């Protein structure tokens, strides 16, 4: 029996909500709409954390908080839940939320890496494991997936999303919602999914986190909205607002955005939470006059839960209602949605968590296996001159594994990891040593010190989040030592990239260079003449122009998680072949940013690659790119019809053959281009993909359906979704430069085929 059934039918839940509501005072209602951070006070916590924890416990004790975030220990969940239950007359339990972004105890590759797998079923399974672990300790809801499209790698939060493309982004959004939530809200061992940050946050001006966003209507509807639509259609129970101004109005108080688009056009009927302190920020932005006005504006746009660090704006709701600034009905509408989710999750019947069971779920070894597969499937092979990879263990006498990131267990997990277990985390060096055994000499030197940030971040206070620079680290001597090790080895595996605290929230950069002296190290190692494999550990594209010409093998392993080292060894030694593909166009340099494959055609399109006079304007690696240890050929691209009446579909089929000697994975990608219409359309847009595993020599025919969902777009000219009568080019291949193509036409003019925007 599901929790929904346990909690009662929809009508029963509604009736229980109404019954609770009539007995609640305004202060109790405001409490239900308030979510506090709780970091826990203890001797080692700073004065601020202790003071804030006391404030929260006082609030819980008088029914002043309906939800908490950041509590991760099951015993603490139970203790705070008891305080909550006893603190309100109605016995309304607290909802516990947390950022379960890419795993809880078992850490999976960062979301950008998982998007590079182009494997939604795998991503769904990984987030299902994350949900299982989180729910076991008493967490009911995750602030994930982050579905913000990101086209500017200076923005540190690019690591949390699925990259530049709305179609891939929508597929990843839906897969993650299904993984977190299961097939319905309230499913056992699952958590509520909260796609964020609504909407447009990834387009921050200059890539500067939190800065304003100005989007054209076409970009908003065609690029930034589709992943949210997919997440809502997959049943997401929650949505989080964004920090920044969208076209001059703060997203968290933006009536058009939240009422007309989210609740109206997307039909979202779950509960809405603000980003941390974002309701208070309505005053900070110079939008609301003060905290009372901020609370009024937020409630009026249907913002149900205020996420607050301290001193919430919603504490002013009583006075706002008394002054007539907002109706109690508007407050009630928010309270209803919060109570409803608590009932649907079955929390009234089962508010507490089984601490014993939590321990056994977290220790489940099958979770680590899912993480290993996820890390293998996320890696992207960028270069492999002369087939240097895979390395053959039998022929290796000695390997130098270089770079601080080769041994750092905290960094391999990536940002947004808190409950990890370093004991069970496998570094790249450890895994290479374990795989090769005593017959091969494996040496290591860090080569360079971790790069220090010029400015600190909110994450610095979490234990281990800032890498420690060894005392007395002699930069020149360490670099020389690493080069000496490379000189004396059969192969050098150099692990370079960004330390995890250099990417993520509050981790935007003005450059995409390899931080510190890493390029110098790489150049010196390559100069030894020893064959070099570069492993890139990153959450954004970095400047690899030199490496792309001089380093024979480059494998992007991202931040691969708990089992990252093991998975990297599996790939290096050919137990599996890399099959990931880039979820963004990889820029040559920061000056090209933003560079996307789906730009429109303009004057002199034949000179598209020459828009700058000093450097090609094409990316270093195209969107969708990634090599394998084998090769694939595409043939027999066939359409089942060449003319399609608007509103109908056609089937595209193509034969893909593994033409090499080894098994491998290929991501078959389908792109379309509409030649003319009511607006000019991108030169190419992804409209289908499938990841296949093919044995050596194996052929497979793949079919895609193209219908109204793929062919419609939002037209700035029509100010609505349209399906134009036009001619479409279609290409299928292994990346966004695919050359095998054909064309078809659509006839007549169809409707939008989806809720029209407001």
Active site residues: 275
Please give the torsion angle defined by the CA atoms of residues 726, 708, 115 and 151, in that order, rounded to the nearest 10 degrees: 50
What is the closest distance, in whole angstroms, from the C-beta atom of residue 309 to ligand BGC in the complex? 9
What is the closest distance, in whole angstroms, from the C-beta atom of residue 685 to ligand BGC in the complex? 28
Q: Does 276 bind ligand BGC (CB under 6 A)?
A: yes
Q: Does 204 bind ligand BGC (CB under 6 A)?
A: no
What is the closest distance, in whole angstroms, from the C-beta atom of residue 639 to ligand BGC in the complex? 43
Contact 145, 112 (CB under 8 A): no
- Who's near 570: CB < 8 A, 6+ residues apart? 372, 376, 576
Q: Compute φ and ψ for 665, nearest 5 degrees.
A: -105, 140
> How many residues contact ligand BGC, by CB under 6 A?
6
Q: Does 99 bind ligand BGC (CB under 6 A)?
A: yes
Which one of residues 29, 196, 297, 691 is an interface residue with ligand BGC (CB under 6 A)? 196
- Who's near 424: CB < 8 A, 6+ residues apart? 368, 562
Which residue in the shown chain puts its C-beta closest to ligand BGC?
143
Q: Does 275 bind ligand BGC (CB under 6 A)?
A: yes
Q: How far apart are CA 37 and CA 14, in angstroms?
A: 29
HEC-encoded secondary structure of 104-117: CCCECCCHHHHHHC
Q: Does 315 bind ligand BGC (CB under 6 A)?
A: no
Cα 403 → chain centroid: 26
Q: Judged by CB, which is closer to ligand BGC: 173, or 445?
A: 173
Overall residue count recorded for the chain in this entry: 758
Q: Judged by CB, which is closer to ligand BGC: 333, or 458?
A: 458
Q: Does 556 bind ligand BGC (CB under 6 A)?
A: no
Cα torsion 135, 137, 141, 144: sign: negative
Q: Classify residue 727 as exposed, middle or buried by CB count within 10 Å of its CB (0-12, 13-18, 19+).
A: middle
Closest by alpha carbon to 167, among 538, 602, 558, 669?
A: 669
What is the closest distance, in whole angstroms, from the C-beta atom of residue 682 to ligand BGC in the complex? 29
Q: Does 665 bind ligand BGC (CB under 6 A)?
A: no
Which one of residues 108, 141, 143, 744 is an interface residue with ligand BGC (CB under 6 A)? 143
Q: Classify residue 324 as exposed, middle or buried by CB count within 10 Å of its CB (0-12, 13-18, 19+).
A: exposed
Q: Does 342 bind ligand BGC (CB under 6 A)?
A: no
127 vs 130, 131, 320, 333, 360, CA distance in Å? 5, 6, 41, 31, 18
Partners of residue 444 on adjacent β-strands? 401
Q: In 10 A of CB 527, how many CB atoms?
A: 13
Q: Does 505 bind ligand BGC (CB under 6 A)?
A: yes
Closest by alpha carbon to 674, among 607, 745, 738?
A: 745
Q: Judged by CB, which is closer to ligand BGC: 143, or 268?
A: 143
Helix (H, G, I), strand (E, B) or coil at 648: coil
Q: Does 306 bind ligand BGC (CB under 6 A)?
A: no
Interacting residues with ligand BGC (CB under 6 A): 99, 143, 196, 275-276, 505
């Amino acid at each position: 029996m599901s929790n929904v059934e346990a909690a009662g039918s929809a009508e029963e839940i509604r009736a229980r909500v109404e019954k609770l509501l009539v007995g609640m005072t305004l202060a109790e209602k405001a409490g239900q709409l308030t979510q506090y951070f709780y970091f826990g006070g203890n001797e080692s916590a700073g004065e601020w954390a202790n003071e804030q924890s006391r404030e929260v416990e006082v609030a819980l004790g008088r029914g002043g908080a309906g939800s908490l975030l950041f509590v991760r220990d099951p015993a603490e969940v139970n203790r705070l839940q008891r305080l909550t239950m006893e603190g309100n007359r109605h016995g309304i339990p607290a909802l516990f939320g947390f950022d379960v972004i890419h795993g809880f105890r078992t850490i999976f590759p960062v979301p950008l890496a998982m998007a590079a797998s182009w494997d939604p079923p795998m991503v769904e399974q990984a987030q299902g494991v994350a949900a299982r672990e989180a729910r076991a300790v008493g967490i009911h809801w995750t602030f994930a997936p982050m579905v913000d499209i990101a086209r500017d790698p200076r923005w540190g939060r690019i690591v949390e999303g699925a990259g530049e493309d709305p179609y891939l982004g929508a597929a990843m959004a839906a897969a993650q919602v299904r993984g977190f939530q299961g097939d319905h809200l309230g499913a056992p061992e699952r958590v509520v999914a909260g796609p964020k940050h609504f909407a447009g946050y990834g387009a921050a001006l200059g890539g500067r986190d939190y800065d304003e966003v100005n989007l054209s209507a076409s970009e908003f509807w065609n690029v930034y909205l589709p992943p949210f639509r997919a997440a809502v259609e997959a049943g997401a129970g929650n949505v989080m607002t964004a920090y920044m101004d969208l076209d001059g109005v703060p997203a968290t108080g933006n009536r058009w955005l939240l009422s007309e688009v989210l609740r109206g056009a997307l039909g979202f009927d779950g509960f809405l939470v603000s980003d941390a302190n974002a309701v208070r920020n309505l005053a900070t932005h110079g939008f609301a006059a003060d905290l009372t006005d901020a609370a009024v504006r937020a409630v009026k746009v249907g913002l149900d839960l205020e996420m607050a660090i301290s001193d919430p704006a919603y504490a002013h709701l009583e006075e706002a209602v008394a002054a007539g600034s907002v109706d109690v009905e508007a407050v009630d509408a928010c309270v209803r949605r919060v109570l409803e989710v608590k009932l649907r999750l079955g929390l009234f019947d089962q508010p507490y968590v089984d601490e014993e069971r939590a321990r056994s779920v977290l220790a489940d070894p099958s979770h680590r296996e899912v993480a290993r597969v996820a890390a293998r499937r996320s890696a992207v092979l960028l270069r492999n001159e002369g087939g240097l990879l895979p390395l053959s263990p039998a022929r290796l006498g000695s390997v130098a594994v270089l770079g601080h990131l080769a041994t750092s267990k905290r960094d391999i997990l990536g940002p947004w990891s808190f409950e990890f277990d370093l004991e069970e985390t496998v570094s790249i060096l450890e895994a290479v040593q374990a795989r090769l055994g005593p017959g091969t000499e494996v040496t290591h030197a860090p080569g360079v010190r971790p790069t220090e940030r010029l400015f600190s971040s909110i994450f610095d206070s979490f234990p281990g989040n800032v890498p420690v620079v060894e005392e007395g680290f002699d930069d020149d001597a360490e670099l020389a030592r690493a080069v000496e090790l490379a000189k004396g080895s059969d192969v050098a595996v150099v692990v370079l990239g960004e330390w995890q605290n250099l990417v993520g929230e509050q981790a935007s950069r003005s450059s995409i260079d390899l931080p510190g002296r890493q390029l110098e190290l790489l150049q010196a190692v390559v100069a030894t003449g020893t064959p070099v494999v570069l492993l890139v550990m990153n959450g954004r594209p970095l400047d690899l122009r030199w490496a792309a010409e001089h380093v024979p093998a480059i494998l992007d392993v991202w931040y691969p998680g708990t089992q990252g080292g093991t998975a990297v060894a599996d790939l290096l030694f050919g137990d599996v072949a890399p099959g990931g593909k880039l979820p963004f166009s990889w820029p040559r340099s920061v000056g090209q940013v933003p560079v996307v494959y789906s730009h429109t055609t303009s004057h002199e399109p034949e000179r598209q690659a020459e828009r700058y006079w000093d450097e090609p304007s094409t990316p270093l690696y195209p969107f969708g790119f990634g090599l394998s240890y084998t090769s694939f050929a595409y043939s027999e691209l066939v359409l089942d019809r060449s003319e399609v009446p608007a509103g109908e579909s056609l089937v595209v089929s193509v034969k893909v053959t593994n033409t090499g000697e080894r098994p491998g994975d290929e991501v078959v990608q389908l792109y379309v281009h509409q030649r003319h219409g009511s607006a000019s359309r991108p030169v190419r847009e992804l409209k289908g993909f499938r990841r296949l595993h093919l044995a050596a020599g194996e052929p497979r025919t793949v079919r895609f359906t193209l219908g109204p969902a793929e062919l419609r777009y939002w037209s700035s000219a029509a100010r609505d979704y349209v399906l134009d009568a036009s001619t479409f080019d279609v290409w299928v291949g292994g990346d966004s430069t695919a050359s095998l193509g054909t064309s078809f036409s659509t006839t007549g003019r169809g409707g939008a085929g989806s809720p029209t925007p407001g």
